[in-house]
Structure 1
Amino acid sequence: MIYKLWMSVVKEFLLLKRDLGGLIILFVMPLVLVITVTLIQDSTFKTVSDSKIEILLVNNDNGSVAKTVYDNLQKSNLFTVVTQINNIPLTEAVAKEAVYKGKYQLAIVIPENLSKDLQAKIDQNVQKIVSSIGSTDTVTHTETPKIINQKEVKLYFDPAVQMTFKNAVMNSIDKMISQIETHSIYTAFQEQLGEGSASFEQKSFITFKEIVPRVNNKEVLPNSTQHNVPAWTLFAMFFIVIPLSINIVKEKTQGTFVRLLTNPVSNRVVMLGKTITYSVICMIQFYMMVAVAVFLFPEIGLPPLNIEGHLFLMSIVALFSGFAAIGFGILLGTVAKTQEQSAPFGATSVIILAAIGGVWVPVFAMPKIMQIIAKSSPMNWGLNAFYDVLLRNASFLEIIPEISLLFLFFIITTTIALAYDKKKRAV
C-alpha cells in the first residue's frame, strides 16, 4: 500500500516535471502578484497619510471663517492648498473644470458673506437665549429678526476618486466647520455676558483614542503586508486547480487512467497520491510567499510580515486551505471531459471564489446578500483563519471551526469525484 502510494506520488511529480514552464509560473506568478499588489496598496496608504494632496480653494468670503478654514487646511498633514492657477485667482468655474478633468482631486468653494452671515446668525440666537433669561431689555423682543439664509460650502470631487476618500474629506471639513461655529458661539456668549464673566474652555471635552491590541507588550499594528500575504497566498493555492484538473483530464483522454485501473491500484490511492503531491506544492507556495514577505519586503520599502509565534498555526491553515483547493481541482478534473472545459472554468471559478471570499473587497463592505454568500467560499474560511492567527492572536482551538470547514470541503468534493467516476465507469 505504501509503495503504491509512493509510486503514485512519483508519477504526479513526473507529470509536473514535463511542464516545467507551467510549474515555474505556478510559483513565480503568485510572488509577482503579492509584491505588486502590496506595493500598490502600501503606496496608496502612504499617499493618504504621508504625502500631501493638492486641493483647490475658492475663497468668495475673505472673512474670518474662510481664513480659519485656509489655516487649518494648510496645517493639515493631508492637504496643500492651491488658491491660484497660473498666477490667476481661482473662480468656481475654473476650479470645477480642473477637478472634473482630473487635474486635482478636490475643490472647496466658500460662499460669499459666510463669516458675516454666520456671526449675524449666532448673534441672533445668543440674543434670543439671553433675552429669554432676562439678561437684556425687553425692547429687543419687539425687533423683527433678519432672515439669514443657510450657507453652503461646495465640494467638487474628481469623478475617479473613491468613496472612502470622499467620506474622509467631508468628515474632516464638517468637523472643522463645526469647531469654527462652536468657537463663534462661545465668543458671542462672552460678549453678551460682559467683561467680568468667566472665560469658556473651548477645547473638545470628548475625544477619541484607538486602543491597539498588544502582544508581549508590543502594539499590533495591521499593515498592507498582513492583509495581502494571506489573501494572495490563498489565491495562488487555489490556482493549482487548473494544472491539477488538466492533468486528470489528460489521463482520461490519453488512456493513462484506464491503464492505471488495470493495475492492482484503487482509485483512492491514485487520488491520495495527487493530494500528497499538490499539498507539497501548496506548502512550497506558502513558504515562498512568507519568505518574500519576511526578507524581501523590507528591502523594497514594504513592512515585513511578523510571523513571530505564528508560523506553526499559519502552516496548519495553509495545509488545510491546500486540501480544499485540491479537492476542488479533483472534482473539476473528474467531471470535465476536455481541457477546454477544465481550464477556463477552473480559472473563472477561482476568481469568483476569491471575489466573494473577501480577497479583493472586505466582506463587511459587501451588500448583506453577498456577506451571506461569502460564508460559503472556502477562501473566506481560509482568509478568516489567517487573520485570526496574524491579527487576532488566536490559538489553535479558535481556528478549528475554519480548518474543519476547509477539510470538510475537501472530503465532500473528493467523495463526489470518486462517486461520479465510479458511476461513470459502471455505465
Structure 2
Amino acid sequence: MTAFYALIRKDLILFLSDRRALVMTLVLPIVIAAFFGSLFRGSAKTSAIEVALVQQDTSEIGNKIAAGLKADPNLHITAMAMADAEKAVRKGDQKVAIVLPAGFGEAAGAALFGNSRKPGIPLLYDPSQPAVLGMVKGMLTQQVMSVVSAEMFGGKMGQEITARSMQQLDEQAKTDPDSKVIRDMLASVQKYQALPARDGAAAGPSKGMTMPFTTLDRQLSSGIAEQGYNAYAHAFAGMGVQFILFMGIDMGIGILLAQRSGVWNRLLAAPVGLAQVLLARAASGAIIAFALLCIVFTVAVFVFGVHIASLPGFLGMALCFGVLTACLGLLIAAFGKTPEAARRIAMFAILIMVMLGGAWMPSFLFPAWMQQLTLAVPTRWAIDGLDAVTWRGLDAMAVLPAMGVLAGFSLLFALLAVWKFKRS
C-alpha cells in the first residue's frame, strides 16, 4: 500500500506544481459560468421585445392599436417605414415587424359582426425567433380585440359600420334567414350605441373586450430552495463538468506521453502491478476532479449566491463525477494510439457529451426526443444531479439514481480500460 499511496502523492504533486494549468482549470469554468449565469438568469423585469411598427392605417382604430402596443411594457415599439422595417428584421435589429395595413380598422370592424372578409396584419419576423413571434401575436391580438370591440360598441366609426352592416344584412335576409338573427343582434348594439352619456361620461363603454382571465404566477421549488430556477447554479454545474472532463483528457494524455517517453515501462518494471498503477492513477484523478468541483461551487455559493440544498447529495454527486472523470481518462489512455490523435478525438467526444448533457443549455429546453436520447449520456445525469441538489432544492435521496448511473458508467469505462491495457 505504501507504493500505492506514493503513486497517488506523485500525481497530486505533479498536478499542483503546474500553477498556470491549475489556475486556468479553476478560473475558466468560473468566468464562463458567471457569464452564462448572468446571461440567462431570470429577473423581476424582463427585457422588452424589440418590435418595429409600420402604421399604414391612420384611422382612429389604427391609432389606438398603435398607442396600445406602445404602452405595453413587454414591447419596445419603433415606428418605421416598410423598407426600413424589412431591413431591420433581416439584420436582426428588430425581432418582429407589425404592419397595420391601410383600411385595417374599418375592415376589422366590419368583420367583427358581419360576414365581411377578415383583414390580415402582416408580421415580418426573424426566423431565429419563432417563440418571440408567438408572444407578439398574443399581445397584438389583445390590443386589436380591445380597440376594435370598443369602437364597434361606442365609437363613431363603429356606429357607421353597424349601420352599413345592417343594410347589407337586410338584403341578405331575403335569401338567408340566418342573416336576420345577426341583423337583430346588431340592432341591439345600435340601441346600446345610442345610449346617452351619464354623469359627463362618453356614451357607450370606454373599453372594449379584454381577456376574461388573468394568471396568478407562483414559482414552486422543492425543499428549502425558494429562488426557483437559478441560472448561476446551472451554469456552474455545466461549466464545472465541462472543464473537469477536459482535465480528464489531460490525465489520459499524460499516460500516453509517459508511454512514449518510456517512463511508463520503467514504472511497470518496479515492484508494482499494472492494476495498482492504474488504480493509483484513477484515485489521484478522482481526488483532483472532486476537489476542483468543490472549489468551483464554493465560489458559486459565496460569490454568486448559489444555494446547495443538500450537502451530502452534492458531495455524493461530486465524488461520483470525479470517479467518472478519472475512469474516462484511463479509457482515453487505453484506446489512444498517439497523444495528438487521442486529444483531438477525446476533445470532440467530450464537447458532444457536454452539449447533449445540457452544459450549455438546460436539457429541459431540448425537444422531447432529444431529452430521451441524452439519457444515454453520463454528462446529462451529472448536470441534472447537480441541478437537483442546488436550484431544485432536492435531497440526497433524489440524486441516488444519478449517482448510480455515474457509477455504472465509471465501472464500464474502467473495465474497458483495464482490458485494453492488459491486451497491450
Q: Compared with structure 1, are the counterparts of its residues 206 and 405 closer, same or farther at alpha carbon in structure 2 (3 Å cutoff)?
A: same
CA contact (8 A) 2:229 2:392 kept: no
String of CA shifts for 1:209-265, please: whole Å, max 9, x gaps: 333225678743213212212111111221122211111112222222222222332
Contact 1:49 1:77 in 2 (8 A): no
**Counterparts of 1:58 and 1:167, CA distance in 2:** 19
2:176 equivalent in structure 1: none
Kindly indicate whether residue 143 of structure 2 is the aligned counterpart of residue 176 of structure 1: yes
Q: How does 1:2-401 map to 2 (within 5 A)?
A: 3-17=2-16, 19-42=18-41, 49-83=45-79, 90-124=80-114, 148-158=116-126, 161-180=128-147, 191-192=189-190, 194=192, 195=195, 202-214=209-221, 219-297=226-304, 304-307=305-308, 309-367=309-367, 369-401=369-401
| Alignment-derived partner of residue 87 in structure 1 | none
**SS of the residue 2:389 aligns to:** helix
Q: Which residue identity is paired with 1:81? A: I
RMSD between aligned residues: 3.0
- 1:109 to partner: Cα distance: 0.9
Structure 1, gaps ≥5 residues long: 84-89, 126-147, 298-303
> Distance in 2 between the 1:219 and 1:296 partners?
18
Q: Aligned partners of 1:397 and 1:151: how far apart in 2?
A: 58
Q: Residue type matched to 2:77 in 1? A: V
The separation in 2 between residues aligned to 1:201 and 1:21, in whole angstroms, is 67
The amino acid across from 2:123 in the alignment is: L
Give the Cα–Cα distance (whole angstroms) in 1 for the partners of residues 219 and 76 of structure 2.
Answer: 30
State whether residues 55 and 82 of structure 1, in contact with CA within 8 Å, keep that contact through their aligned partners in structure 2: yes
Q: Which amino acid aligns with 1:118?
A: A
Give the equivalent residue in structure 1 for 2:403.
403
User: 1:15–1:338: structure 2 CA closer, same or farther, 3 Å change rule?
Assistant: farther
2:98 touches 2:122 (CA, 8 Å); kept in 1? yes
On the 8 A contact 1:53/1:78 being kept in 2, the answer is yes
- Contact preservation (8 Å) 2:51, 2:78: yes
Give a deviation string over 1:194-216, Cα, whole Å, max 9, x none.
459x9899553333333322567
Q: Is the 8 A contact 1:332 1:346 kept in 2?
A: yes
Q: Aligned to 2:76, what secondary structure does the other structure show?
A: strand
State whether residues 38 and 232 of structure 2, in contact with CA within 8 Å, keep that contact through their aligned partners in structure 1. Answer: no
Q: For 1:220, what is the secondary structure of its paired residue?
A: coil
Task: Specify whether residues 182 and 405 from structure 1 end up closer, same or farther in structure 2 by C-alpha distance, changes over 3 A only.
Answer: farther
Distance 1:411 1:214 in 2: 33
Question: Which residue identity does 1:69 align to in structure 2?
Answer: I
- Indicate conservation of the 8 Å contact 1:8/1:269, yes or no: no
TM-score (norm 1): 0.80
In 2, Cα distance between equivalents of 1:286 and 1:13: 16
1:421 aligns with 2:411: no
Residues 221, 416 of structure 1: CA spacing in aligned structure 2 closer, same or farther, 3 A cutoff?
A: same
Change (3 A) 1:218 1:291: closer
Amino acid at match of 2:413: T
Q: Which residue in 2 is equivalent to 1:412?
A: 412
**Distance between the aligned counterparts of 1:61 and 1:25, measured in 2?**
59
In the alignment, the residues of structure 2 paired with residue 275 and residue 356 of structure 1 have an alpha-carbon distance, to the nearest angstrom, of 25
Cα distance, 1:415–1:14 mapped onto 2, change above 3 Å: same
| Contact 2:95 2:132 survives alignment (8 Å) | no
Question: Normalising by the residue count of structure 2, what TM-score does the alignment of the two structures yield?
Answer: 0.80
State the alpha-carbon separation in 2 of the partners of residues 33 and 295 from structure 1. 17
Q: 1:401 to 1:123 in 2, by over 3 A?
A: closer
CA distance in structure 2 between the aligned counterparts of 1:52 and 1:305, rounded to whole angstroms: 27
Distance 2:78 2:91 in 1: 16
Tell whether the 8 Å contact from 1:49 to 1:78 is kept in structure 2 after alignment: no
On the 8 A contact 2:89/2:124 being kept in 1, the answer is yes
Tell me which amino acid in the other structure corresponds to 2:189. Answer: E
Whether the 8 Å CA contact 2:34–2:232 is kept in 1: the answer is: no
Give, in whole Å, the separation in 2 of the partners of 1:30 and 1:63.
56
Determine the C-alpha separation between the residues in 1 that align with 2:422 and 2:253: 20
The Cα shift of 1:365 comes to 4.1
Q: CA deviation at 1:324?
A: 1.4
Q: What is the deviation of 1:55?
A: 3.1
Instruction: Provide the rounded CA distance (Å) in 1 between the counterparts of 2:224 and 2:296.
Output: 28
